[in-house]
Amino acid sequence: MIRAGRDRGVRTITLDAPPVNAMTPAMLDALHDAIALDDDARAILLNADHTCFSAGFDLRAIAADADDQPILRALLVELSRVVGAMRANPRPVVIATHGAALAGGCALLGGADVVACSPDATFGYPAALIGVSPAVSAPFLRRSVEDGHARRLLLDTKTIDATEALRLGLVHRITDALDDEAFDIARVLASKPAHAVRATSDWVATIADPIEATIRRGLDASIACVGTEEARTRIKNAARRR
């Protein structure tokens, strides 16, 4: 599901669930533990293997779920927990994304301090197409992009390309040498005095809008859509197409 290693102060966490790194509760739980691990790493790099960064939740598992969809509920809870752990981490978090980062995969970007992507990367929140609200992602997304752009990205199910993502502030760098450059970014961040990095992160969190309540409310709004007949039908149809 994921792999982790450390080199020159950087803890690299790699999504490894072929073919599209579809998210399961177990995968997100393992990702949370890898992010929250308290060791001597001084920066975190999250990247992915295979053809895309992540296509979001495992729709086939959700489609085969019971009527009240406990797997989808667990996925929403775990996704919120993972992105919250990245936001709260005293270590700088760098994300390197190639191919598609969709729905839950795109939501992960909201936990990063720096996002680098390849020129072919695409991004979007198509959850509404299957009757699922992306509200769980809203508290994190609106701290990455302006409110108007956040509303459009969450409500418009179309994907955007790397150039548009850079313009909006969803990503910070586009590069053909994604793996090397993302690691270099993380390595430089890891080389900075840890106490200064921590103090800066803590201060940015202090002056930001209060987020804990909105994280909970965003999660509740997404969970409120779970289990409807329309959502179950749309998820099953989408799972067949995937």
Q: What is the mean pLDDT of residues 15-27?
A: 96
Is the pLDDT at 165 greater than 90, yes or no? yes
CA–CA distance, 117 with 104 (Å, rounded to integer): 17
Give the count of domains, the chain.
Answer: 1
> What pLDDT shows up at residue 209?
58
Contacts 24+ apart (CB under 8 A), 207-210: 208/143, 209/143
> Residue 108 phi/psi, 5° resolution?
-60, -30
Q: Does a structural domain hold residue 205? A: no
> What pLDDT shows up at residue 204?
75
What are the residues whose beta carbons fall under 8 Å from the beta carbon of 132, sequence distance 6 or more? 72, 222, 225, 226, 231, 235
Distance of CA 211 to CAs 23, 139, 141, Å?
A: 24, 7, 12
Q: Tokens in use for 105?
A: 């995969």
Give 201's pLDDT tier (boundaries 50, 70, 90): confident
Range of the domain at 127: 2-177+210-241
Q: What is the mean pLDDT of residues 187-203?
A: 88
pTM: 0.93
Q: What is the mean pLDDT of residues 181-198?
A: 93
Q: Does a structural domain hold residue 7? A: yes
pLDDT tens digit sequence for 22-79: 999 999 999 999 999 988 999 999 999 988 999 999 999 998 887 778 999 999 999 9
> What pLDDT shows up at residue 199?
86
Q: Does a structural domain hold residue 186? A: no
What are the residues whose beta carbons fall under 8 Å from the beta carbon of 180, sequence distance 6 or more? none
pLDDT tens digit sequence for 202-241: 787 777 655 778 888 999 999 998 888 887 788 888 877 7
CB 105 within 8 A of CB 130: no
Q: What is the mean pLDDT of residues 15-20?
A: 95
Q: Under DSSP, is residue 101 helix (H, G, I), strand (E, B) or coil?
A: strand
Strands, DSSP E only, in 133-198?
Answer: 160-161, 173-174
Compute the radius of gyration of the chain from its Cα atoms.
17
Q: Does a structural domain hold residue 189? A: no
Q: Does a structural domain hold residue 201? A: no
CATH number, domain of 169, equals 3.90.226.10
Q: Does a structural domain hold residue 148? A: yes
Q: Does a structural domain hold residue 171? A: yes
pLDDT tens digit sequence for 125-151: 998 888 889 999 999 998 889 999 999
Q: Does a structural domain hold residue 183? A: no
Q: What is the mean pLDDT of residues 84-88?
A: 91
> What pLDDT shows up at residue 210?
54
Count of C-beta atoms within a 10 Å radius of residue 83: 26
